[in-house]
Amino acid sequence: MSELLIQLRGVTKVYGSGQAELLALKGIDLDIEPGEFVAIMGPSGSGKSTAMNILGCLDMPSAGQYLFKGAHVEALSRDQRARLRRRFLGFVFQGFNLLARTSAQENVELPLLYRGDSAGVRRAAAAKALQAVGLGGWEDHTPAELSGGQQQRVAIARAIVTAPAVVLADEPTGNLDTQRSHEIMALLMGLNQDQGITVLMVTHEPVMAAYARRRVHFLDGSIAEDVANTHPTTAALVVPAPEPAGAI
């Protein structure tokens, strides 16, 4: 077995206090190995988004342990967690979260700008990331000049430009039509298989979860099921359709 990349041990999360107290996570245990593609599922209020926020170092557990590459994340300072995010984690969101008046190139460069990389390094890395998601030649286009599928590709390029160990994708196909959703899933699968990036994806859609090699189902703050997907959907089944710029 590979050395574990992520370990959650007895992780709980409590919001509020007294009569308003809400136990969002009830002692979660979860192991993630390097190179996995995991779909995290569950109904609204099940705890899946809380768990993803903790995994992404965007929130802290109320109790329990979170180990990333053997380091105790719950013991890190705010600045140390920020450095961990910048170095090891990439994020993809349902709403793309692109800067509207900024080119695709500049949007993808942002994580490197925050990291303090030089302009030359940023340009080269962003161009490479855009090429990897099939948007070579689109560097100068703003989000308004791109379709929804293309905007999500820019967002994925931004997530991988730092060469992260993990991409955390929160409903990455939620704002896309069926064809574009499958194309984005094929892209994430390719990044996982070809570059070895670990992908953790929240989704409520079983069809999208079928691309993952493992499904973790949350229910009422606990993990109700953790199963391998022995026959994941393959990217070879996805045939890209024409996508004119500006079409949502």
Of 82, 77, 84, 112, nearest in space to 6 by CA: 84
> What are the residue ranges spanned by the domains of the chain?
6-235
> Look-up: residue for tokens 């077995």?
1
As a residue count, the chain comes to 248
Whether residue 247 has pLDDT greater than 90 = no
* Residue 149 CA neighbour count, 13 Å, CB half: 22
Diameter of the chain measured on Cα atoms? 56
| 1-28 pLDDT per residue, tens | 458 999 999 999 999 988 889 999 999 9
- Mean pLDDT for the chain overall: 92
Dihedral angle over CA of 137, 199, 144, 245, nearest 10: 50
Q: Please name every residue paired with 71 in a beta bridge, in sequence order, or none if there are none.
A: 68
| 216-228 pLDDT per residue, tens | 999 999 999 999 9
Structure pTM? 0.91
| 148-203 pLDDT per residue, tens | 999 999 999 999 999 999 999 999 999 999 999 999 999 999 999 999 999 999 99
**Predicted local distance difference test score (pLDDT) of residue 235:** 61
Name the CATH code of domain 6-235 (choices 3.40.50.300, 3.20.20.190, 3.40.50.720, 3.50.50.60): 3.40.50.300
3-state secondary structure of 37: strand
